[in-house]
Amino acid sequence: MPLAANGVFLKTADHTYEEEATYQLKYLIRSALISLEHINSPKGCIIDEFPNPIQYYRFYLDHIFYLLGQINDRFIEKWTKDDELREIKHEHILLNRGNYRFTEDEFKILSKKSPRNLIEHLDERNLSIIKDKHIVGGFNVIFPESDRGLIESVKHNREYYPYVLDLIEYKVYFYDSQAKDSDASVFDIDLKQLNAELIKLEHRVNDIYQLL
């Protein structure tokens, strides 16, 4: 492994790729953290550029999960049709996991690809909801000032909303109508935990950046 010990980095033929991966991860992680900050501390001047506040929160939340999908690609293997590309990606994923000390146990949210997939294919989920429930699903936000009856309705009717941002609990509630396993159709993402995972990974990426 190029990272032989703490503070000892061996320059190998993979050096160019390690520079590329480190540069990209620094951008992706920092962008996700900035987007989380825009959700945690809304910027009024930007909110005013949207027709309503819900679109503001969706803009940053969607951006976060698109970024997480790209981070995930650096650490979690996916099936690739091209045999040569699959082997290259396999080698680089192993390199990344070693260099940045990445494990699924330590980075549970960053290891999860389903939120990005659900948002990317939201139209398909909405069509399922319209067909089965005869209502329009999509995205919603629970605000601290939201009506209590509305909050309870949203929380107890998860199948109506593919994803909901809860600004009280600081969580995102997902419902995947296309999940093969019914137990996997309902899941939550804790944004505080996500923030902690991103900061931890950012520190490790910066360590490699300094060694490079």
Residues 106 and 125 occupy one common structural domain: no
DSSP conformational letter for 8: E
For CA atoms 40, 169, 139, 116, the dihedral sign is positive
- More confidently predicted of 102 and 17: 102
- More confidently predicted of 71 and 133: 71
Residue range 90-106: mean pLDDT, rounded: 96
Residues 29 and 105 occupy one common structural domain: yes
pLDDT tens-digit map of 139-194: 889 999 999 998 998 888 888 888 999 999 999 999 887 777 766 789 999 999 99
This prediction has a pTM of 0.87
Residues 26 and 95 occupy one common structural domain: yes
Q: Give CA–CA dist 206/183, Å, rounded.
A: 37
Residues 78 and 143 occupy one common structural domain: no
Residues 186 and 122 occupy one common structural domain: yes
DSSP state letters, 146-212: S-HHHHHHHHH-GGG-SEEEETTTTEEEEE-TT-SSGGGSEEEEEHHHHHHHHHHHHHHHHHHHHH-
- More confidently predicted of 12 and 79: 79
Q: What is the reported pLDDT for 134?
A: 57
Q: What is the reported pLDDT for 10?
A: 53
The Cβ-side half-sphere exposure at 91, using a 13 Å CA radius, reads: 10
Residues 37 and 82 occupy one common structural domain: yes
Number of domains in the chain: 2
pLDDT at 37 > cutoff 60:
yes
Residues 120 and 206 occupy one common structural domain: no
Range of the domain at 161: 114-191
Poorest-pLDDT segment among 7-11, 81-85, 128-132: 7-11
Residue range 101-112: mean pLDDT, rounded: 97
Cβ atoms within 10 Å of 176's Cβ, excluding its own:
21
pLDDT at 126 > cutoff 70:
no
- For all residues of the chain together, what is the average pLDDT? 88
Q: Looking at the DSSP assignment, which residues form a beta bridge with residue 5?
A: 8
Residues 207 and 102 occupy one common structural domain: yes
> How is residue 180 written in tokens?
């093969």
Q: Give CA–CA dist 160/182, Å, rounded.
A: 15
Instruction: Identify whether the C-beta of residue 67 lies closer than 8 Å to the C-beta of residue 28.
Output: yes
Q: What is the reported pLDDT for 136?
A: 64
Residues 78 and 170 occupy one common structural domain: no
Highest mean pLDDT among 1-5, 16-20, 79-83 belongs to 16-20
187-190 own/partner pairs: CB under 8 Å, 24+ apart: 187/114, 189/109, 189/112, 189/115, 190/109
82 alpha-carbon distance from chain centroid = 26
Angle formed at CA 112 by CA 100 and CA 37, multiple of 5 degrees: 75
Residue range 104-128: mean pLDDT, rounded: 86
| Percent of the chain surpassing pLDDT 70 | 87
Residues 33 and 124 occupy one common structural domain: no
Residues 13 and 104 occupy one common structural domain: yes
pLDDT at 133 > cutoff 80:
no
Residues 77 and 100 occupy one common structural domain: yes
